[in-house]
Structure 1
Amino acid sequence: MIFKVFIFFSYFLPCLCGHGHPPKPPKCLSGYMTDVQNWVDENGRLIPKPGDSDNVIDLSTTTNPVQVLNEKMNLFRRRRTVRYLSLAKCQLTRVPPIFQLRDNEMRPLAMMLEYMTLFGNNFLGMSTAGEHYTLSFNATGTTVMNLSNSPQRQVVSVWSSGFTAVNFPNLKELDLRSCSIQTLEKNLFRGMPNLTALYIGENEIHFISSSAFYGLRNLVHLDFSRNEAFDENGNPKNLATDDYLVFNYLESLVSLDLSHTKLTLRNLGMLKSLGKSVRSLSLCDTGLTVLQDGIFNSTSLHVLDLSRNSGILNNQRPLRGLEDTLLALYAREVNLQRIDQFQNFSNLLVLQLAGNEINTVDLETIRTLKALKVLNLNKNRLNSWFEPTFSLLPNLHLLSLQDNNINVITEQMIADLINVNYLALSGNFMVCNCHAKDLYKMAAKNEKNNTEDFIDLPEELLHRNIYSYYNDLIQNRSKVGLEDCEELCFDDIGHSGSFRLLDYYPEAYVCLQVPESKTIFISDVYSCGRLAREINYEQELNGSRKKLLALLIIPCVLLPVALIFVFRRRIKYFFITMRNSAMLSLINKKDAVDGKNNTIFNYDVFVSYCNEDRGWVLDHLLPHMEAECSISACLHERDFLVGLSILENIVSCMDRSRSIMLILSQRFLLSQWCQFEMHLAQHRLLETRREDLTLILLEDIPRRLRPNTLHYLMMTKTYIVWPKDESERPVFWKRLKKTLIAQKNKPTENASLA
């Protein structure tokens, strides 16, 4: 058992890099094959261990590998053995019958092999005429042997025919990646009793026989990642098996990687056959949308990756059974909205929840995560908080809150963060205040007083993407420095702590200076000062009533005058708007027909768009609306009346249109008139209580760029997204046509804004 554990950890030993740019966060926790072993490179070429260079036969990219292998084996004698063999990218269509070849000491190849790769060949599922590999050579190379008549070598109509009836007593690792394998038939690996690592990723496997892994009692690591199969019509094939207990024979399995392999709910039954020995499981980017409650009851998982599976954690107790064993959970981009699923995970050390929809942190759940050391909440919707939250995690070492909605640093937040060792806050649009400066100065002070403190994780988490990623961030981070500041600069800080910034560089830590409406570095923000912290405002007001009264009267007199002068143009614009609204009211009354349900509409839809999107509207939208849907559209450049102001035209045309359509893009949000039309559309909906609004998104608009009006409309109205893929556009036009016709045929009501 000690040997098995050593083999497992050898796949996940850290690989700390030198100083440089911080590493990018991994899309999935599981690594590529070349990340977790050290004897083959990404192209299938061998990298033997020190001292084994004489025990290697590397035939990668060789066009006639069988003959060359026979010639090379003639050179092996005495203490030399063929421990490593590479037949990578040799254009093989099946495994050749080469394992009975003998060297000059009459030792068969199958008895010597310990590491073998067949990476990058194109194996066929069934036999093809003229490709039977029935010819080989004897050990001396002088006589051609015909293997077709050998009782131990019969041609099998599958890619694995070369493994048939062959025993590999010393084989430890086998690499079958990217070989176009489609099926794993019965007893395929039966002759490999001591195999500890099997790599069969990047294939097209869509069927696994129930006994495919029979005999692999010592297998520790199984890489089944990146398997995608398609039928003749290009549709994905579901992974199938004749028995869901397909992993039942893997008694020593510790690590299973199913990442990037598309699974369905039917495949969840396979996970129930995983035993207590399994410690690491990756289901990253598998397409699963739900987990059955209690599916992990029979396991003792330490590491679980569920990332990039939207909705997989949305049922009530998807992780039941792992409360006492799970040490690291990755759930990036799973559309998670709350964290109460992790309540009572008392041994959890690493929790990666980036890229979700979390806006509040449940305090009851936080109180139960007593062992948590790393919490990553990047790219969520968290706001500023005003009560103890992360201080409830006594062992929290690293907290990452990048790209959230934290706008203000409060005194309560600083008090809540002082016990964290490393903190990341970049990407939040913050308003300048003295507490933001406090946070900056505390981080600088802690850089001077503390040495680097790496995350101490147990051996169970010596996984490259857990251990190495976060410690690489710590090692490669830029430090906050106040080179010209003496100790006195830190005397006015009201808190003490140990946190340092994990993601610091000056351009990332900026804030909005509200009075000047400009962005500045947090390092340039004013300090609160000790006197400002200790001042008693009630006492100051009671002792200076006259001064305070004078200070209040003077602004009361001067402020209206100043406001009228500063905002004179806006005041004038306000009165013009009022005048135009009154005029428009008269116009609308003349056009409208009496009766609640008899309003006259001159247009079916008013289209609001910015000038930069004009080409899309004229070339794509207008032909479909007017030619195919018989919808009359109101466009500002074509239908606005000459002589009226822009404001009058907008309000009049919108009021005389049955429905409103907003063509949304990031450029749309930069246009003041487009913003006005969007506000007016919202006002129309509220005033008339109608639902006649269509939103079309030409591109993704991140939440941080959306004004509140647009965010409200997108949250309350169904919108249509213009697809980049041309094959999806017929569906777009079909949905739009259905919406427009439904709005056109809806009974009209008195929708006049006037």
Structure 2
Amino acid sequence: MLVIVRVTASAALASASAQPPPQERCLTGYMTDVQSWVDESGKLTERAPRAHKIDVSYQSNANRRLHKQLETFSCANNSVQYLSMARNQLLVVPKIFRLTDPCGQPLSDTLAYLTLAGNFFYSKNFERPKFEMQMNATNAMSVPAEVEGFVTEVWSSGFHGVNLQNLRELDLRMCGIRELEDSPFKNMPNLEKLYLGENNIYQINEKSFNGVSNLIHLDISRNYEYNTNEVYRGLYFGDLKVFSNLTRLQTLDLSYTKMRQENLLAMKKLRSLLSLSICQTELINMEASWLAGTSLRYLDVSRNQNIFKDKKALRGVRSTLQVVYADNIALSTLDVFDNLSSLEILLVANNEIATIKKKIAKSLTNLQVLIVDMNRLTTWFRPTMVLMPKLKFLSMRNNNINLISEEMEMDFENLRYIGISGNFVVCNCNARELFLLALRNEQILPDEFIFPLNNNSDVGGAVYHTGFRDINFLISNRQIIKSVCASGECKEDLNSKSSGNFHLFDYNDGSYMCLLAVEGRTTPFGAVPSCGARTQLDIDHVISDTMNTLYFLVIPLFVLPFFIFGYIFRRNIRYFFITMRNSTMLSLINNEDIIDENTIFNYDVFVSYCHEDRDWVLDQLLPHVEVDANVSVCLHERDFMVTTPLPPSFPSHIACRRSPSTVTPFASLFQVGLSILENIVSCMDRSKTILLILSQKFLLSQWCQFEMHLAQHRLLETRREDLILVLLEEIPRRMRPNTLHYLMLTNTYVVWPKEKAEQILFWRRLNKSLLAHKLRQANNDSIA
């Protein structure tokens, strides 16, 4: 029985780094997206010629196995150009480059592609790892004799003293490297691609890249390092001249590596830089001067909050940028992309963009792809997308588009692919026409992939971004539209001369559904009633005549004050027209007479809330309001009755508050034969007060926002002021819809405090407000 000391590899790995959970892919993808000779685990692929490769990955005693394979290697007209020593439990770079093949050629002269991925190189300053006593030698990991305690030399010692003059690509991923000392790659004069991703690098010295002046691609992504206090430390450049020797560097990947703000100043030295990924690096507020000295074409700044706070951040690269990924950066406008005349792909998903300005759209003259998913876009009523003449692919999924307007239809005419699924759309004939045009195009138009307008988009034979490939993947994997029309019902529409050459790239069964407001149910776009004949109106002619009339008849002294007044109160005027538009649409739901002052109310308060806030309503609100204040509450879980389940796709008032599979009976207040929406309106009218329980979850529900419009509409219609708002959490102004903002300005609202001591005052204020509204209608006897 032999007692040996072995290193616990898992313990050493755990003490060195805490790898983050899997992340979304950035514009530069992953290391294996830009070359093909090695896979993610470090094994050589079939693209590496069999006659020129040796793979000893995942094997113990790798040096001995390499020596044996070299002895049997057929060197006649061949040489070892590809070598993998991945995941061999190596502690430093092995000293194997003086080994020769049977023809006497040393590896240092023949190697062009080398991967050492997945080993764990310990630095001299690394804390001593944990050891344990092992009584069974079966799984023992041998420790090199030259290692004192752990390591006596730097991790790159195997590169020292040899000239790897033909080495083109070096893969050092997942090697536990913590620091790049001076000149570890100085003997690799022709190195073009260096992969240092998924290490623990926290410091790069000024001379770390000496000797690799021909480097084209540098990957330092996914580097995570924690200090002894388990605090995540950011990457530190020993000097801002750290990249000064990389005169040919064209692509730099720093994604998922925490960066210090001043590090971006080092980019100014990279005059030849074409591609930069700094997604999820915790950088903020990029300044215009940081990229001004580069020739940048491809940029990813995703998941860096407020990195484009400065609207001039991209001023220095306006004429060169072709692809920009700016996902989830708290962007509220597209102003920062003004005059990017070369831009071809723009991804700005998961932001807070509500409109696309006419000026910005006109300046994007070469834009082919625009992705604005998960924003706050609403229906627009003036030409917008048509102002971008090269636009082919438009994705607006999961926004706040509630209606398909004629202007939107015209904007879609020249596009090749659109996607608007995930929006809560009210049915109209424009929705039908949009769907049937896409259905017709399936029969007459083939798919068309999207490629760069500039043929110089390839860098050194490889494209160092995945932008066009990502879009073409969506196109090639889209689902073909199937007709949802009855036999022969759509024949006339499919043969119509309506223009539009687009496909729906995001179509799937059940995705393109809209709400029939009067009936309170959803239906496919293609099943909406036809528009029929339309009277064509020459809008340009009408506008021209009107402007001429105004020009001659309106006194200039009157026009000037009018425009000044309109500019000062532009928000109020815009809100007025939005309210009028919503009122017009909501009036389709219920056209009953206005409730007079003698109306008998069934309840004191009607409570509107989202399903996520149900526990608070049941556990907190009801006991204090019904018991303490003696206020009768109209609550759907107790007072509504549904005799048939809601359609699964119907995002209704009820579905917002409970699981769609839950079916409870309707109370007597709900009338059989009326739509769900009509019954909801009736319940609101038969309650003295409407109480909205607001939270950020409430605002994320498009139907709940529509319901808020409904409450406002009924209050305006009945000329009542019986609305109370309860905020379960603070809602920043940027997250408030205009309706909520003005309701908060004109109605009572209280904020739920987190401190228990303040909650007593909260209930006192709320009960007092509810009782005040109740006494205001004291002449009406409640029959609830």
TM-score between both structures, scaled by the size of structure 2? 0.68
Matches within 5 A, 1:499-514: 499-514=502-517
Q: Deviations over 1:351-398 (max 9, x none)?
A: 111111100111001111111111111111111111111111111111
Answer whether contact 1:26 1:465 (CA < 8 A) is retained: no
| Cα displacement (A) at 1:35 | 1.8
The residue that corresponds to 1:718 in the other structure is: 730
Q: Deviations over 1:670-693 (max 9, x none)?
A: 9999x99xx99xx9999xxxxxx9
Match of 1:240 among 236, 259, 262: 236
The residue that corresponds to 1:387 in the other structure is: 382
AA in 1 matched with 2:247? E
Matches within 5 A, 1:305-324: 305-324=300-319
AA in 2 matched with 1:310? Q
Answer whether contact 2:625 2:631 (CA < 8 A) is retained: no
The residue that corresponds to 1:731 in the other structure is: none
1:184 equivalent to 2:166? Answer no
Alignment partners' CA distance in 2, 1:360 and 1:167? 58
Alignment partners' CA distance in 2, 1:367 and 1:412? 17
The residue that corresponds to 1:478 in the other structure is: 479
The residue that corresponds to 1:647 in the other structure is: 633
Secondary structure of residue in 2 paired with 1:321: helix
| Cα displacement (A) at 1:430 | 0.9
Answer whether contact 1:198 1:222 (CA < 8 A) is retained: yes
The residue that corresponds to 1:337 in the other structure is: 332
Alignment partners' CA distance in 2, 1:104 and 1:402? 62
Answer whether contact 1:193 1:216 (CA < 8 A) is retained: yes
Alignment partners' CA distance in 2, 1:317 and 1:735? 40
The residue that corresponds to 1:124 in the other structure is: 122
Matches within 5 A, 1:698-737: 702-704=700-702, 706-707=704-705, 718=730, 736-737=754-755
The residue that corresponds to 2:394 in the other structure is: 399
Match of 2:409 among 400, 405, 414: 414
The residue that corresponds to 1:28 in the other structure is: 26
Match of 1:195 among 176, 181, 191: 191
Q: Deviations over 1:498-540 (max 9, x none)?
A: 222222234111111122111001111111123x54699xxxx
Against the structure 1 CA distance between its residues 744 and 432, is the aligned structure 2 distance closer, same or farther, given a 3 Å change threshold?
closer
Q: Deviations over 1:421-474 (max 9, x none)?
A: 211111111111111111122222333332322213144164562122212222
The residue that corresponds to 2:583 in the other structure is: none
Against the structure 1 CA distance between its residues 574 and 167, is the aligned structure 2 distance closer, same or farther, given a 3 Å change threshold?
farther
Matches within 5 A, 1:383-532: 383-457=378-452, 458-459=454-455, 460=457, 462=463, 465-482=466-483, 485=488, 489-490=492-493, 493=496, 495-530=498-533, 532=534
Secondary structure of residue in 2 paired with 1:70: helix
AA in 1 matched with 2:248? S
Secondary structure of residue in 1 paired with 2:355: coil
The residue that corresponds to 1:21 in the other structure is: none
Answer whether contact 1:189 1:214 (CA < 8 A) is retained: yes
Against the structure 1 CA distance between its residues 41 and 296, is the aligned structure 2 distance closer, same or farther, given a 3 Å change threshold?
same
The residue that corresponds to 1:346 in the other structure is: 341
Alignment partners' CA distance in 2, 1:389 and 1:177? 46
1:575 equivalent to 2:600? Answer yes
| Cα displacement (A) at 1:160 | 1.1
Against the structure 1 CA distance between its residues 643 and 160, is the aligned structure 2 distance closer, same or farther, given a 3 Å change threshold?
closer
Against the structure 1 CA distance between its residues 261 and 609, is the aligned structure 2 distance closer, same or farther, given a 3 Å change threshold?
closer
Against the structure 1 CA distance between its residues 108 and 496, is the aligned structure 2 distance closer, same or farther, given a 3 Å change threshold?
same
AA in 2 matched with 1:411? E
Answer whether contact 1:666 1:701 (CA < 8 A) is retained: no
**Aligned-residue CA RMSD (Å):** 4.5
1:325 equivalent to 2:320? Answer yes
Alignment partners' CA distance in 2, 1:350 and 1:243? 34
Secondary structure of residue in 1 paired with 2:183: coil
Match of 1:165 among 147, 161, 165: 161
| Cα displacement (A) at 1:32 | 1.0
Against the structure 1 CA distance between its residues 157 and 385, is the aligned structure 2 distance closer, same or farther, given a 3 Å change threshold?
same
AA in 2 matched with 1:91? Q
Secondary structure of residue in 2 paired with 1:736: coil
TM-score between both structures, scaled by the size of structure 1? 0.70
Against the structure 1 CA distance between its residues 615 and 567, is the aligned structure 2 distance closer, same or farther, given a 3 Å change threshold?
same
Alignment partners' CA distance in 2, 1:710 and 1:245? 57
Answer whether contact 1:310 1:333 (CA < 8 A) is retained: yes
Q: Which runs of 5+ in 1 are unaligned?
A: 1-24, 132-145, 149-154, 537-562, 582-605, 619-633, 651-664, 687-692, 721-733
| Cα displacement (A) at 1:182 | 0.1
Against the structure 1 CA distance between its residues 648 and 641, is the aligned structure 2 distance closer, same or farther, given a 3 Å change threshold?
farther
The residue that corresponds to 2:209 in the other structure is: 213
| Cα displacement (A) at 1:741 | 7.5
Secondary structure of residue in 2 paired with 1:511: strand
Count of residues in correspondence between the two structures: 602
Percent identity between the aligned chains? Answer: 35
Alignment partners' CA distance in 2, 1:739 and 1:31? 51
1:64 equivalent to 2:61? Answer yes
Alignment partners' CA distance in 1, 2:510 and 2:127? 65
The residue that corresponds to 2:758 in the other structure is: 740
| Cα displacement (A) at 1:716 | 11
Secondary structure of residue in 2 paired with 1:519: strand
| Cα displacement (A) at 1:92 | 1.1
The residue that corresponds to 1:81 in the other structure is: 79
Secondary structure of residue in 2 paired with 1:472: helix
Against the structure 1 CA distance between its residues 230 and 26, is the aligned structure 2 distance closer, same or farther, given a 3 Å change threshold?
closer
Alignment partners' CA distance in 1, 2:67 and 2:50? 19
- Which has the higher mean CA deviation after the structures are superposed, 55-64 or 485-494? 485-494
Answer whether contact 1:415 1:495 (CA < 8 A) is retained: no
Against the structure 1 CA distance between its residues 488 and 49, is the aligned structure 2 distance closer, same or farther, given a 3 Å change threshold?
closer
Alignment partners' CA distance in 2, 1:127 and 1:353? 43
Alignment partners' CA distance in 2, 1:735 and 1:374? 45
Against the structure 1 CA distance between its residues 742 and 342, is the aligned structure 2 distance closer, same or farther, given a 3 Å change threshold?
farther
Q: Deviations over 1:605-646 (max 9, x none)?
A: x9x99899659997xxxxxxxxxxxxxxx6634884499673
Secondary structure of residue in 2 paired with 1:438: helix
Secondary structure of residue in 2 paired with 1:116: strand
The residue that corresponds to 1:225 in the other structure is: 221
1:356 equivalent to 2:348? Answer no
Answer whether contact 1:85 1:116 (CA < 8 A) is retained: yes
AA in 2 matched with 1:186? D
Q: Deviations over 1:175-199 (max 9, x none)?
A: 0000110000001110111111100
The residue that corresponds to 2:551 in the other structure is: none
Q: Deviations over 1:121-164 (max 9, x none)?
A: 11101189999xxxxxxxxxxxxxx998xxxxxx9621111112
Answer whether contact 2:374 2:398 (CA < 8 A) is retained: yes
AA in 1 matched with 2:311? Q
The residue that corresponds to 1:93 in the other structure is: 91
Alignment partners' CA distance in 1, 2:616 and 2:405? 47
| Cα displacement (A) at 1:106 | 2.7
Answer whether contact 1:352 1:375 (CA < 8 A) is retained: yes
Match of 1:274 among 230, 252, 270: 270
1:106 equivalent to 2:104? Answer yes
Against the structure 1 CA distance between its residues 642 and 283, is the aligned structure 2 distance closer, same or farther, given a 3 Å change threshold?
closer
Alignment partners' CA distance in 1, 2:324 and 2:629? 65
The residue that corresponds to 2:254 in the other structure is: 258
